[in-house]
Amino acid sequence: METNSQFTVKFWGVRGSIPSPGEETVNYGGNTSCVEMHIGGKHLIFDGGTGLRALGKSLQAEASPHHAFVFFTHYHWDHIQGVPFFFPTFNEEDCFYIHGQVPPDEEMMQMEEHFNHRVLHVNSPVPVADIRAQMKFHDIVCGETFQLDDITIETAPLNHPNGAMGYRVTWQDHTAVYCTDTEHFPDRLDENVLHLARNADIFIYDAMYTDEEYHNSKSPKVGWGHSTWQEGVKIADAAGVRQLVIFHHEPNHTDEILDGIAEQVKEARPGSVLAKEGMELSAIPE
């Protein structure tokens, strides 16, 4: 039951890079990045990976009109592929507030043009004119802080090829942080990530790899823009996070592999969880 006093985080897509359906991934799910926050009666949506399609279906099952605030970290495929299949955009009663920063190589564009012609149109046969919902665009300058009424949103740049933006969302002294796609530094904790994560109730972190995979001499992943669960534990400890959520799972990690990682993460930092499709967490402790 949704109430105006809740602050929950729901996971609709938890994979990185590419959807990974199949019998070996049914437990954690194969859809790519999409996270929803229900905060004080508002819907906030982070990224539009393939998980966004199912989120749209759930929204359509609720009474119209629908209003949601959508935030993009960046525009790699695994964060936008669900956008053309988010069917509430075809409902003229609905309204979506689209937030993001255009990529550095397209800085002459504004978010509206970028969304219509880079996210939607080149990737979908459906004409942009067929979108009937009201679409309102907000260009974010990465690093800025802004308000959605009584919700405070802070942003910070992440260490990722072509850039990505992390979000810290605070309401009534509770905080959830969405921090993907990002790579740790070899010699220090990332000050931007530490700042976003400080004393957060929920800290969602890109832990695509294990340390062993990241440093594997035959196939190193250094410079690919992703981190490890071991680095997530370090940041969560240093920042005083309540609950660490391991996210952006490597598509080749089967349920069995992820169950193994979950055990290790819990041992290293009790209370930590691996994100799973359909999982819902509360940012307000019970």
Is residue 16 close enough to count as binding Zn ion by CB under 5 A?
Answer: yes
Element (H, E) at 232: helix 229-239
Is residue 100 close enough to count as binding Zn ion by CB under 5 A?
Answer: no
**C-alpha dihedral (81, 84, 87, 93), degrees to nearest 10:** 130
Q: Within a 13 Å sphere around the CA of 217, how many CA atoms are in the beta-carbon half?
A: 0
Stretch that binds Zn ion, among 2-10, 13-21, 100-108, 167-175 (CB under 5 A): 13-21
Strand partners, 168: 154, 177
The smaller minimum CB distance to Zn ion, of residues 54 and 80, is found at: 80
Stretch that binds Zn ion, among 11-19, 39-47, 141-149, 190-198 (CB under 5 A): 11-19
Is residue 249 close enough to count as binding Zn ion by CB under 5 A?
Answer: no
Stretch that binds Zn ion, among 37-45, 76-84, 87-95, 239-247 (CB under 5 A): 76-84
Is residue 78 close enough to count as binding Zn ion by CB under 5 A?
Answer: yes
Distances 160 to 8, 74, 139, 224 between C-alpha atoms, Å:
27, 9, 20, 7
* Nearest distance in Å: CB 78, Zn ion: 4
Is residue 183 close enough to count as binding Zn ion by CB under 5 A?
Answer: no
Length of the chain equals: 286
Stretch that binds Zn ion, among 12-20, 143-151, 170-178, 234-242 (CB under 5 A): 12-20
Is residue 181 close enough to count as binding Zn ion by CB under 5 A?
Answer: yes
Is residue 277 close enough to count as binding Zn ion by CB under 5 A?
Answer: no
SS (H, E, C) 71-104: ECCCCCHHHCCCHHHCHHHHCCCCEEEEEECCCH
Interface with Zn ion (CB under 5 A): 16, 76, 78, 181
